[in-house]
C-alpha cells in the first residue's frame, strides 16, 4: 500500500510497543524545549512587560531588536552557539558542546524573543486606565504591574506556547550544537526533530514517522489545552 501508509502503520506500532529509543528521544526533546521555555519566560516576560509599560530614550531601537529576535533564523543561532562553545571558542573550556545544556542554550535564544515580543504586545494592549485606576486605589507600582500582567495572561499563555513550539520544532540549531549523538542504541543528545532527520537519512521512514506523529500529537494536545484555558478565562470574565 505504499511507503506512506506503511510507515504510519509501523510508527503506530513503535509507539504502542513502547520502543525505548523513541521514548528516550521524546523525553530529551521535552526536557530541552521545556527548560529553554522556562528560561525564556524568566527573561522574556520581564523584558516584554518593561518594554510595554515604559517609554525611554532608545525604546524604538530596543523594540526593533526584540522584533528582529522573532525572525532570528534558528541556524544562525545554532552557528553562534556552536562557535561560542567550540573547543576553539571563548566558552570552549566549559566542554558544553554536544550536551543537552548546549541545546537548551540554543533553544533559549529561539524561545525567549518570541515570549518577550508576545508579552510586550499583550501587556501593551491592556488599557492604560486599568493601571492608573489601580494606582489611584492605592496599589503600589509593583502591585499595579502585576495586575496588568494578570490582565494579559491569555496572551502571555499564547506567547509561552509559541515559544515552546518554536523550541521543540527547531532542527538546525540543535543538530549543530547537540550533534544527535547516541550510545549503543541509547539516546544522548538526539531530539525528535534531529532524530527524524537522521532516520530519514537512513531510509528508516517508520521511526521518522513515529517522531513526526508524536510531534503532531503534542501540538494538538497543547493547542487543545491552551484553547480550553483561554475559553475558561473568557467565560469567567463574562460572568464576573
User: What DSSP line would sit under 24-44, residue for residue?
Assistant: HHHHHHHHHHHHHHHHHHHHH
183 binds another protein (CB under 8 A): yes
Rg (CA), the chain: 21
The residue (of 65 and 221) whose beta carbon lies closer to another protein is: 65
Grid look-up 573550556 returns 93
Q: Name the segment binding another protein (CB under 8 A); options: 14-22, 127-135, 147-155, 177-185.
A: 177-185
Task: Pick the closest to residue 117 from 52, 36, 42, 39 (CA basis).
Answer: 52
Residue from the set 37, 49, 180, 191 that interacts with another protein by CB under 8 A = 180
230 touches another protein by CB under 8 A: no
Give min distance, CB of 224 to another protein, in A: 29
CA 48 to chain CA mean position, Å: 16
Q: List the interface residues with another protein, window 134-173 (CB under 8 A).
A: 171-172
Q: Rule CB under 8 A: is residue 86 a binding residue for another protein? A: yes
Beta bridge partners of 187: 182
Using rule CB under 8 A, residue 61 touches another protein: no
Q: How far apart are CA 206 and CA 219, in angstroms?
A: 20
For the CB of residue 174, give the shortest distance to another protein in the complex, in Å: 12
- By the rule CB under 8 A, 79 interacts with another protein: no
Other Cβ atoms within 10 Å of 174 Cβ, number: 34
Would you call 34 exposed, middle or buried from its count of C-beta atoms within 10 A (0-12, 13-18, 19+)?
Answer: middle
The residue within the footprint of another protein, chosen from 22, 32, 149, 175 (CB under 8 A), is 175
Note the residues at the interface with another protein (CB under 8 A): 3, 86-87, 97-98, 171-172, 175, 179-184, 188, 190, 194-195, 197-205
Amino acid at each position: 500500500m505504499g511507503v506512506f501508509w506503511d510507515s504510519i502503520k509501523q510508527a503506530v506500532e513503535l509507539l504502542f510497543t513502547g520502543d525505548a529509543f523513541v521514548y528516550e528521544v521524546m523525553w530529551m526533546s521535552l526536557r530541552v524545549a521545556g527548560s529553554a521555555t522556562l528560561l525564556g519566560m524568566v527573561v522574556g516576560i520581564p523584558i516584554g512587560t518593561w518594554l510595554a509599560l515604559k517609554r525611554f530614550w532608545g525604546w524604538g531601537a530596543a523594540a526593533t531588536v526584540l522584533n528582529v529576535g522573532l525572525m532570528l533564523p534558528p541556524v544562525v543561532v545554532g552557528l553562534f552557539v556552536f562557535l561560542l562553545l567550540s573547543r576553539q571558542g571563548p566558552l570552549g573550556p566549559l566542554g558544553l558542546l554536544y550536551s543537552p545544556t548546549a541545546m537548551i542554550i540554543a533553544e533559549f535564544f529561539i524561545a525567549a524573543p518570541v515570549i518577550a515580543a508576545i508579552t510586550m504586545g499583550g501587556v501593551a494592549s491592556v488599557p492604560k486606565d486599568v493601571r492608573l485606576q489601580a494606582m489611584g486605589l492605592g496599589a503600589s507600582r509593583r502591585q499595579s504591574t502585576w495586575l496588568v500582567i494578570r490582565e494579559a495572561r491569555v496572551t502571555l499563555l499564547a506567547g509561552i506556547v509559541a515559544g515552546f513550539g518554536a523550541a521543540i520544532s527547531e532542527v538546525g540549531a540543535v543538530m549543530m550544537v547537540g550533534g544527535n549523538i547516541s550510545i549503543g542504541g541509547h539516546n544522548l543528545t538526539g531530539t525528535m526533530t534531529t532524530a527524524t532527520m537522521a532516520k530519514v537519512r537512513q531510509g528508516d521512514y517508520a521511526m521518522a514517522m513515529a517522531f513526526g506523529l508524536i510531534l503532531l500529537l503534542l501540538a494538538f494536545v497543547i493547542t487543545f489545552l491552551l484553547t480550553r484555558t483561554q475559553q475558561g478565562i473568557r467565560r469567567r470574565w463574562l460572568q464576573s
